């Protein structure tokens, strides 16, 4: 674990210095945070070195977003530094704070931000900021504390002041209930597509190669993969009954049915050509459907609008304090508010991380499909592919060292124009990337499962407010 000298480094335009010094820094320091600004930079060394040290030695970098900051000559450099230390946003190393309306650069625009533009919501947003800076985000946020807070809100709604205050949030609670189920249902389908890739399609191709070489076990192995394909189809048929897939359902499941029929016939004939023909419909599904589902996942996460629910619970907390409610109930509310804020930030980071890995996985898959004939596509695609994977592989973890080792060997093979080595090391490189994508996929699945548990207490709130 890193031992950071500061909790937060503040990046801002000098035109906003008065606000930073008079408002932001005191708020953070009064809450026990160790704050670093350019006032603390070491005299006599370059600005570049000072900024590099500030980002690396601070647990988080807070960016004060204003038109002046966006137009600053240092924005691009600080963007490079901050995206290098946390490219996906998973570690919450970069916290955007919108002070004035502006269009942030792309590297920060995808991250969930604190919005201080509306003076009326300043206190709530500043509380959220302090809470974010005071806590590190775990991989998956447990829903228990959130649910206790939501149930307490439902209990409080029987009293007039709280119920009246939350009526304006009625539609947002209802919308959140729908989006929670939508998000979880989409993730369930994406999981089956992942299963289709790694437990059906890839093994079928491997066994087709083995069958072509006369491996006597290949037919039996292909029979197992055919059964697994049928299990995936059955699971997908159950999942498509979810409301989110009405009225179109999932028409591409029919292609998988056709693939299963072709594969069954190919096994009876022991025909390797027919086995590969059976894999073609699966290939088309895997080429088009995962990125579409991923896009819908990202949309559902955006439309979930947990920030509105956070605002509602924050309002309930204020009303509860005013009514001098019992300390235990108030603690349940406040703990639920803190956990929900963490979940909101973590979910956004996981969805963004998942999207980047999905895009990378799709490109790796496309390049792999052309390597059977020659290495031309790999050679031409490698610079772009390397640019995609490099920001995702910067942590000091075993999988990063593995993928970097295969990257070095692959680049050596490309330089030597050695097709056999290119195939071998690209396959290993892709396998390393696939394992990490699976880890990210699993974390998002676990977070969606946790979020789904919030459905019952949210539904209770919707019923009381109806």
- Which domains does the chain possess? 6-134 (3.40.50.10140), 180-456 (no CATH)
Pick the more confident residue, 383 or 336: 383
Q: Quick one: which of 307, 437, 293, 300 has its CA closest to 363?
A: 437
Q: Is the dihedral of CA 209, 215, 219, 225 positive or negative?
A: negative
Average pLDDT rounded to a whole number, residues 60-66: 90
Whether the pLDDT of residue 329 is over 80: the answer is no
Cβ contact 47:27 at 8 Å: no
pLDDT at 119 over 80: yes
Q: Is the dihedral of CA 388, 391, 392, 396 positive or negative?
A: positive
Q: How confident is the model at residue 1 (pLDDT cuts 50, 70, 90)?
A: very low
The tens digit of pLDDT for each residue in 78-96 reads 555 555 555 555 556 788 8
Label residue 239 by pLDDT band (50, 70, 90): very high
Segment of 345-354, 370-379, 451-460 carrying the highest mean pLDDT: 370-379
What is the C-alpha to C-alpha distance for residues 234 and 266, in angstroms, rounded to an integer? 21
Residue-level pLDDT at 190: 93
Alpha carbon distance 13, 9 (integer Å): 13
Query: Using one digit for the tens of pLDDT, what is the confidence trace for 242-277?
Result: 888 887 789 999 999 999 999 999 999 999 999 999
The tens digit of pLDDT for each residue in 369-385 reads 888 778 999 999 999 99
Quick check: 368 pLDDT over 60?
yes
pTM: predicted TM-score of the whole model, two decimal places: 0.68
- Distance (Å, whole) CA 348 – CA 86: 14
pLDDT of residue 144: 83
In eight-state DSSP terms, residue 112 is -
Average pLDDT over residues 109-116: 78
- Torsional class of 127: left (φ above 0), alpha (ψ -120 to 50), beta (otherwise): alpha
Q: Which of 129, 133, 98, 122 is nearest to 12 (CA)?
A: 98
The pLDDT tens digits for 280-311 are: 999 999 999 999 999 988 888 888 878 777 87
Q: 216 pLDDT band (50/70/90 cuts)?
A: confident
Percent of the chain with pLDDT over 90: 39
Range scoring the smallest mean pLDDT among 52-61, 184-193, 229-238: 52-61
pLDDT of residue 139: 64
Instruction: Give the position of tokens 């592989």.
Output: 393
Residue 300, C-beta contacts closer than 8 angstroms, at least 6 positions apart: 179, 182, 183, 186
Helix axes 455-465, 144-156, angle to 10 degrees: 10
Residue 461 CA to residue 236 CA, distance in Å, equals 32
């Amino acid at each position: 674990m890193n031992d950071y000298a500061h909790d937060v480094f503040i990046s801002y335009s000098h035109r906003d210095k008065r606000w930073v010094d008079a408002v932001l820094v005191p708020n953070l320091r009064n809450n026990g945070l160790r704050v670093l600004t350019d006032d603390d930079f070491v005299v006599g060394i370059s600005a570049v070195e000072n900024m590099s040290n500030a980002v690396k030695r601070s647990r988080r970098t807070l960016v004060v977003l204003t038109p002046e900051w966006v137009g600053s000559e240092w924005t691009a450099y600080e963007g490079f530094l901050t995206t290098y230390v946390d490219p996906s946003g998973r570690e919450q190393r970069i916290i955007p704070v919108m002070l004035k309306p502006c269009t942030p650069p792309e590297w920060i625009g995808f991250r969930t931000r604190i919005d201080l533009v509306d003076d009326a919501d300043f206190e709530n947003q500043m509380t959220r900021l302090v809470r974010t800076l005071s806590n590190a985000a775990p991989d998956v946020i447990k829903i228990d504390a959130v649910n206790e807070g939501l149930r307490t809100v439902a209990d409080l709604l029987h009293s007039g002041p709280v119920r009246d205050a939350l009526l304006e949030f009625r539609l947002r609670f209802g919308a959140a209930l729908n989006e929670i189920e939508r998000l979880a249902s989409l993730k369930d389908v994406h999981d089956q597509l992942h299963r289709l890739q790694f437990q059906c399609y890839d093994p079928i191709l491997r066994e087709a190669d083995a069958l072509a070489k006369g491996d006597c076990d290949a037919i039996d192995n292909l029979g197992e993969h055919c059964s697994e394909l049928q299990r995936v189809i059955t699971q997908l048929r159950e999942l498509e009954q979810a409301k989110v897939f009405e009225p179109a359902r999932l028409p591409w499941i029919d292609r998988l049915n056709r693939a299963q029929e072709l594969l069954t016939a190919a096994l009876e004939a022991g025909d390797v050509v027919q086995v590969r023909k059976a894999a073609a419909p699966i290939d088309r599904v895997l080429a088009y459907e995962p990125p579409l589902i991923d896009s819908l996942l990202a949309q559902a996460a955006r439309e979930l609008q947990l920030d509105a629910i956070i605002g509602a619970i924050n309002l309930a907390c204020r009303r509860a304090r005013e009514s001098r409610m019992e300390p235990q109930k108030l603690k349940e509310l406040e703990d639920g508010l803190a956990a929900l804020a963490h979940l909101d930030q973590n979910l956004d980071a996981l969805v963004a991380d998942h999207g980047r890995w999905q895009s990378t996985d799709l490109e790796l898959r496309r390049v792999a499909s052309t390597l059977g004939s020659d290495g031309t596509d790999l050679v031409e695609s490698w610079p772009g592919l390397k640019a995609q994977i490099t920001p995702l592989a910067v942590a000091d973890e075993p999988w990063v060292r593995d993928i970097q080792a295969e990257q070095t060997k692959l680049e050596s093979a490309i330089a030597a124009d050695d097709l056999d080595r290119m195939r071998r090391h690209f396959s290993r490189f892709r396998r390393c990337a696939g394992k990490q994508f699976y880890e990210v996929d699993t974390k998002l699945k676990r977070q969606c499962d946790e979020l789904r548990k919030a459905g019952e207490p949210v539904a209770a709130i919707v019923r009381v407010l109806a």
